[in-house]
Amino acid sequence: MRIKVKSRITVFILSFITYFIITQIGKFDWQELVVGIVISFITAIVAGDILIMEKRKFKFSRIFYTICYIVRLLWEIIKANFHVAYLVIHPNLPIKPGIVKIKTNLKTDAGLTMLANSITLTPGTMTVDINKEKGEMYIHWIDVKTTDVDEATEAIGGRFEKIIKEIFE
Amino acid sequence: MSNIIGYILICIGLAFDFFGVLGLVRLPDVYNRLQAATKCVTFGTAGILAGVFVMEGYSVMGLKPIICLIFILLTAPVSAHVISRAAHRAKIKLADETIVDKYEEDKELLDKEDN
Amino acid sequence: MRAFRWLIGFIVIVCFLIINFFVFDYKLIFKLMNIGLFSALLILIRVVFGPSPADRIVAVDILGILVVGICALIAVTFDQSFFIDIAMAWALQSFIATLALAKFLEGRQLDE
């Protein structure tokens, strides 16, 4: 019960900040402010209870790990883009695609989603499907180096799994 | 000065947009096209929006692109994942160069669990 | 054969870049916008000739993301902030359209 209330308050604040940035900057107007509060309230009542699902304690080290994660993710995205540009310009298309399977230890929905999104944005890999009960992910790899499950886990998921575990669990 | 930095960011973004679209045209099957296009076009559009933010500063036109950028970075991987999963379940074939397909081997098992 | 096709594409792109940047005399931002529009033209090739339905869905999804960038460039060019509103609405709409099309491709109905 209490988690749902917390989730609704978070949704209210986020949607009100978005509304404020879209309409209010540069010209301040009371009428639009009131309309924004009403609309954010309706949004929070109708669809607000699915943003936060698990109860977590606040830890100070989580902020530090989040900053590390963002820096690491930006670096990997830049590397991924140069990798794709090299592949596309090369006349012979040096690709060796395949779908491999990796294991993961994450349990929560938010952690799994962030791991899948990170894998999609990093060089040469893309998440195809997740099997949540067994903790397995199917990855499309544009340049397959190994088909073994453990080695592929080390090569693909090992970059992010520890740091996401610190943030989301 | 901020104008020059903004133009440089916009040029980088357009270059990566162009590479991504070239990958969409050249690569052999749906999954590879999806990889190249999603990564490069997302990064390129994010670069253009960041360039607009740098050029305009903290004003009406400067903060809207930031919302747009966050939204695109959150949703582009999700849509890539959804399309690839749907394409594999609709039995669209992989390219001839493909080495291994573990998902096809486990698919019977996954379908049973669904039903 | 593949090398020949690569050569043709390379010549076409180099000709486009030379004509775009050195022949006519526009402002720089219009030349940059031309590159975005040329990319959109290449995407339309994949929409028309895509061998499978999934290719067409991918192309439409990518076109949605690219149009957001082009809208931002137009907003800078004419100094009108409502073009960015159009870009935001387009991003939301194209994401939901992609989800619906993928569900349709998978063979399920839209209300499942």
Instruction: Answer yes or no: do B26 and A93 touch at CB < 8 A.
Output: yes
- The predicted pLDDT at position B113 comes to 56
CB contact (8 A) between residue A93 and residue C2? yes
- In 3D space, the residue among A44, A20, A13 whose CA is nearest the CA of residue A34 turns out to be A20
Give which of B27, A126, B43, B59 is closest to C81, Cα–Cα.
B59
The vertex-B43 CA angle with B38 and B49, nearest 5°, equals 125
Half-sphere exposure of A133 (CA within 13 A, CB side): 4
pLDDT at B115: 46
* pLDDT in the model for residue A119: 86
Report the pLDDT averaged over residues B28-46: 87
**Among the partner residues B35, B100, B110, nearest to A131 by beta-carbon distance:** B110
Strand partners, A100: A139
DSSP state for residue A57 in the 8-state scheme:
-
The pLDDT, as a whole number, for residue C11 is 93
Q: Under 8 Å CB-to-CB from A129, ≥6 apart: which residues?
A: A137, A138, B85, B88, B103, B110
Which chain A residues are Cβ-neighbours of C6 within 8 angstroms?
91
Nearest to A137 by CA among A165, A155, A157: A157
Chosen from B81, B83, B91 to mutate, greatest number of chain A CBs within 10 A: B81
- Is the confidence at residue B110, as pLDDT, over 70? no
User: Smallest Cα–Cα separation from C2: which of B34, A142, B27?
Assistant: B27
Task: Decide if B41 and C65 are in contact by the 8 Å CB cutoff.
Answer: yes
Q: How far is C9 from chain A (nearest CA, A)?
A: 11
User: Is the CB of B63 inside 8 Å of chain C's CB atoms?
Assistant: no
Closest CA to B73 of C15, A118, C50, A148: A118
Closest to A24 measured CA to CA, from B27, B83, B59, C68: B59
Average pLDDT score, chain C: 87
Report yes or no: A138 and B100 within 8 Å, Cβ to Cβ.
no
Question: Which chain C residues are within 8 Å of A91, Cβ to Cβ?
Answer: 2-3, 6
The DSSP bridge partners found for residue A131 are A136
Contact map slice: B 14-43 vs C, CB within 8 A: 14, 17-18, 20-22, 24-25, 30, 33-34, 37-38, 41-42
Which chain C residue lies closest to A18 (C-alpha atoms)? C88
- DSSP H/E element including B83: helix B60-89
Q: How confident is the model at residue C112 (pLDDT cuts 50, 70, 90)?
A: low
Cross-chain CB nearest to A101 (options B32, B99, B102): B102
Which residue in chain C is spatially nearest to A19 when comparing CA positions?
C85
- Decide if C6 and A22 are in contact by the 8 Å CB cutoff: no
Domain range list for chain C: 26-105
Q: Write down the residue that tokens 């400067």 correspond to.
A: B62
Do the Cβ atoms of B23 and B33 come closer than 8 Å?
yes
Taking an 8 Å cut-off on Cβ atoms, the answer to whether B88 and A129 are in contact is yes
* B94 vs C contacts (CB less than 8 Å): none
Q: Show which subunits contact C, needing at least 3 CB pairs below 8 angstroms.
A: A, B
CB contact under 8 Å between A91 and C3, yes or no, is yes
CB–CB contact C32 B10 (8 Å): yes
Boundaries of every domain in chain A: 2-47, 61-168
pLDDT score for C15:
93
- If we measure between CA atoms, which residue out of C11, C12, C60, C16 comes closest to residue C40? C60
Mind listing the pLDDT tens digit of every residue in chain A (169 residues)?
A: 678 888 888 899 999 888 888 887 767 788 888 998 999 999 998 887 887 777 777 777 888 888 888 898 888 888 888 888 888 888 887 888 888 888 888 777 888 888 888 888 888 888 888 888 878 888 888 887 777 777 777 777 777 778 888 777 7
Residues of A in contact with C85 (CB under 8 A): 22
Q: What is C18-67 written as a DSSP string?
A: HIIIIIS---HHHHHHHHHHHHHHHHHHHHHH-SSHHHHHHHHHHHHHHH
Which residue in C has a C-alpha nearest to residue A88's C-alpha? C6
Distance from CA of B45 to the nearest CA of C (A): 5
Q: Is pLDDT larger for residue A109 or for residue C98?
A: C98
ipTM, 2 dp? 0.87
| A113, containing H or E segment | helix A109-121
